[in-house]
Amino acid sequence: MSVFSHPAYDNHEEVAFYHDAKSGLKAIIAVHNTNLGPALGGCRMWPYADDSEALNDVLRLSRGMTYKSAMAGLKLGGGKSVIIGDPRKQKTPELLRAMGDFLNTLGGRYITAEDSGTSVADMKVIAERSKFVSGVISGQEHGGDPSPSTAYGVFVGLQAAVAHRWGRTDLNGLRVSIQGVGNVGFRLGKLLKEAGAELFVTDIFQDNVDRAVSELGATAVGAEEIFDLDVDLFAPCALGAILNDNTIDRLKVGAIAGASNNQLAEARHAQVLKDKGILYAPDYVINAGGIIDVYYQQLGQEQGEYNAEQVKAHIETIGTTMQEVFQRADETGETTAHVADRIAEERFGHKDALNNSDSAAA
């Protein structure tokens, strides 16, 4: 199958493949849209089953970044990169430096940052070869790591979901299941615990589960059991396509609000959730805290100043945006995912939205 006929291809501007035999690097960069600015999105390293799985992931993720930046009000386009390999076994400095060489071939049309399977330390190695790297500014509270900002943004958006679904402003006693307690999921769990929520967690890595149990007082459950729990809210914080025909049918929750990208396996699953009475917080709206932080880090690198309070204030607008999406969905009868898509498309100039710009307000 060619890239142009791929189901996840969405008029991407550029898709580049790179192989460095010496380091073993096999990577793909996808630039979806640069109408609002250069494409910015993380570099994911993952042991994909095959090349087609990696291509599907990078196409879906890069498209999501366009929508995410537009909804967050950032002057950025959408892009993403993936490295095919096990980050716990195959990552080397040579491989990361080769990734920097790959970035340079796009001449600044794509800027990378950390993502699943990569870290701030990895980005600093990549930056030895390329200037098109963000999320490494030393003045940021966490040394450039955007994970805390992503978690905080999800927490803010989750609060908006709880307020809309149950009409309550506190989270005390709320039962939340978290799928994936890595960098973002664990920090989200910490914020939820501090707010009085009861946590149920699962993760593919046992050490992540053990940490959540010991430090957050969470209850550990199996990877499949997480979908069958009778809880209030489900927070997917792992990989995508987790909301599908099988899992949605099993969910017994009132709302879904989590950090993972591309949570819906197919666009139609937004309607399936709506029909089941589950409030869905569109992933690229609620998880934009990290890209907001990285954007300000990029500005800080250029202007010599990083304003943490400005970053926090911008992240907190995620709650207002979520409220707008929920309210508009109620008024129109559309799914929250469709509403979010339309608002984002109006902002970044999607060809279909340009013909209907008077039908919705951003």
Catalytic site residue 68?
no
Alpha carbons within 13 angstroms on the beta-carbon side of residue 20 total 19
Find residue 45's DSSP bridge partners. 83
Report CA-CA distances (Å) from 342 to 4, 7, 71, 335.
24, 20, 10, 11
Among residues 26, 68, 75, 80, which one is catalytic?
Answer: 80
Instruction: Give 116's contacts (C-beta < 8 A, 6+ positions apart).
Output: 42, 44, 45, 46, 182, 239
Q: Nearest-5° angle of CA 300, CA 301, CA 302? A: 90
Residue 193 in contact with residue 217, Cβ under 8 Å?
A: yes
* Of 51, 28, 53, 52, residue with least CA distance to 41: 28
Report DSSP state, residue 344: H
Helices (H), the chain: 51-71, 93-104, 120-126, 147-166, 183-194, 206-216, 245-250, 269-275, 283-286, 289-303, 308-332, 336-348, 351-354
Find residue 193's DSSP bridge partners. none
Amino acid (1-letter code) at residue 299: L
9 membership: H or E segment, kind and range: none
Q: How far apart are CA 314 and CA 19, in angstroms?
A: 38
Q: How far apart are CA 285 and CA 64, in angstroms?
A: 10
Find residue 200's DSSP bridge partners. 177, 219
Q: How far apart are CA 305 and CA 219, in angstroms?
A: 42
Catalytic residues: 80
